[in-house]
Amino acid sequence: MVSEIPTGALVRVYRIDRKKSTVNVATLAGITVRYLEMIEAGTKTPSLPVLRKIAQVLGVRTSALVGEAPSEDHEGPVNPRLAEVERALYTYRSLTPAGGDSPEIVELAQLSERVAAAWQAWLTSPTKYSDVLRVLPELIVASERAVYEHEHSVQACRVACEIYQLARPVLKHVGRVDLGGLVADRSMRYAEETGDRLLMGVGAWNLGMALLADDMPHGALDVAMRASETLEPLLAEGTPALFCVYGGLTQLAAVAAGRTGDPWRARELLRGPARQAATTVGEGRSDFHLFFGPTNVAIHAAGIEFETCELSEGMRVSDDVDIANIASLERKTAHLYQVARAYECKGNDTAVFVHLQMAHRICPQDFQHKRLPRSMVTTLLRRAKPSYASEVRQFADTIGLLN
């Protein structure tokens, strides 16, 4: 028995709950009734733009239809540390009982090393979820204590900014998109306290990513464009780190523009300032834990084509992408998932299976926490041809999809 509700079934549930007919939803979403029926039956995979239109008609966020809504079971077996992270986020000095043991003053150098180690685990470890969730609650509490004890020093605020920057993608991928705005806001505010324009640029990038994840592309576009404009005067004599942050903001603006329905602006941003910055930087930059370079720009270029239903063009761009040029496991698997989804839309289940297996070899824990790859495996279970259906079922059992 498959343990999760597929996207098509969620569409049907929300449609019935809103008391809307298939004719009404299909007409307002700009698709045929037959196409909507196939989506609900799970025999057709909608592109992201179509899914967004359906979500608008149903009055829900797109995330609700792809299973990225907040988790109902914060203490479940998949992420038992999540409740501790939530408690840490709401630990305030004024709400802490007086008395008791007084812990030693937080040493900033030691805390900085621990935060760096957590970032390294998140970017490179196949067991990144368990590694980071194990230490994240304590690091959040320690960073807040450090800011207070060191009287909002630049170094203390920098460390706090970094730990909240890390918390956002972790929380997103364990199903708590709703907390992304909170931690991104804290990261941005601590960045502002440092006075470091590059760190503020990274804070804006993080905030924009949270807005995108919460279906607010217009807000993400505004934040990214304003932040990149503040860095433009520095580009003439800029360092590689500056171009890395500026390029990351431009990429974010491109994705946001595409999701607001302006794919040509998205392409112009990627082919113009983003590509120029990537050429200046070269491969392998990861300043402020923000990966940027020609390969990353190409991945985003393919993503824009996929999101605008130009699947053939997206695959053409993807054919030249070598994910070995990227050190971040997250970037590698995210690219494999978007290619797999494109193949799913084209009905090439064999290619979907190959790309999912590649992603599983890179980061097995993704298949415990991310709903997108699990959803694609669920679809494969229903559609796989007899020649490899047993292998798909074995793979589904391996990732825990079958009871």
Structural domain ending residue among the three candidates 134, 169, 195:
195
Compute the average pLDDT of residues 276-296.
Answer: 90
Assess whether 56 and 126 both reside in one domain. Answer: no
Does some domain include residue 391? yes
Assess whether 191 and 90 both reside in one domain. Answer: yes
Give dist(CA 304, CA 113) in Å, integer: 37
Assess whether 122 and 28 both reside in one domain. Answer: no
Q: Cβ-count burial of 103 within 10 angstroms (0-12 exposed, 13-18 middle, 19+ buried)? A: exposed
Can you say whether the dihedral through the CA atoms of 222, 70, 370, 341 is positive or negative?
A: negative
Judge whether 371 and 337 are in contact, CB under 8 Å.
no
Q: Looking at the predicted structure, is the pLDDT value of residue 26 above 90?
A: no
Assess whether 85 and 172 both reside in one domain. Answer: yes
Judge whether 289 and 166 are in contact, CB under 8 Å.
yes
Neighbours of 154 (CB within 10 A): 13
Does some domain include residue 215? no
pLDDT of residue 1: 33
Does some domain include residue 27? yes
The beta-carbon contacts of 214-219 under 8 Å, at least 24 apart in sequence, are 214/61, 214/63, 214/177, 214/178, 214/180, 214/181, 215/55, 215/61, 215/62, 215/63, 217/255, 217/256, 217/257, 217/259, 217/260, 218/256, 218/260
Neighbours of 72 (CB within 10 A): 7
DSSP state of 257: H
Structural domain ending residue among the three candidates 147, 164, 195:
195
Q: Does residue 302 or residue 63 have the better pLDDT?
A: 302
pLDDT of residue 249: 97
- SS3 at position 327: coil
Q: Does residue 76 or residue 299 have the better pLDDT?
A: 299
Host domain of residue 352: 328-403
The number of domains in the chain is: 3
**Please, which residues have CB within 8 angstroms of residue 101's CB and are 6 or more apart in sequence?**
none
Q: Looking at the predicted structure, is the pLDDT value of residue 335 above 60?
A: yes
Distances (CA, A) of 73 to 80, 83, 208: 9, 9, 27
Q: Looking at the predicted structure, is the pLDDT value of residue 337 above 80?
A: yes
Assess whether 124 and 23 both reside in one domain. Answer: no
Tokens 């997103």 -> residue: 172
Assess whether 187 and 110 both reside in one domain. Answer: yes
Assess whether 333 and 395 both reside in one domain. Answer: yes
Assess whether 60 and 38 both reside in one domain. Answer: yes
Give dist(CA 50, CA 47) in Å, integer: 5
Assess whether 61 and 133 both reside in one domain. Answer: no
Q: Looking at the predicted structure, is the pLDDT value of residue 96 above 70?
A: no
Compute the average pLDDT of residues 341-359.
Answer: 91
Judge whether 160 and 199 are in contact, CB under 8 Å.
no
pLDDT tens, position by position, 306-328: 888 888 898 999 988 998 888 88
Structural domain ending residue among the three candidates 149, 178, 195:
195
CATH at 35: 1.10.260.40
- 0.75 exceeded by pTM: yes
pLDDT of residue 245: 95
> Which range (22-36, 40-54, 271-285, 337-351) has the least confidence?
40-54
Compute the average pLDDT of residues 139-167.
Answer: 94
Closest of 115, 162, 150, 155 to residue 135, by C-alpha: 115
**Best mean pLDDT range from 121-125, 204-208, 238-242, 377-381:** 204-208
Give dist(CA 176, CA 70) in Å, integer: 5
Could you tell me what percent of the chain has a pLDDT over 70?
92
Does some domain include residue 170? yes
Judge whether 337 and 345 are in contact, CB under 8 Å.
no
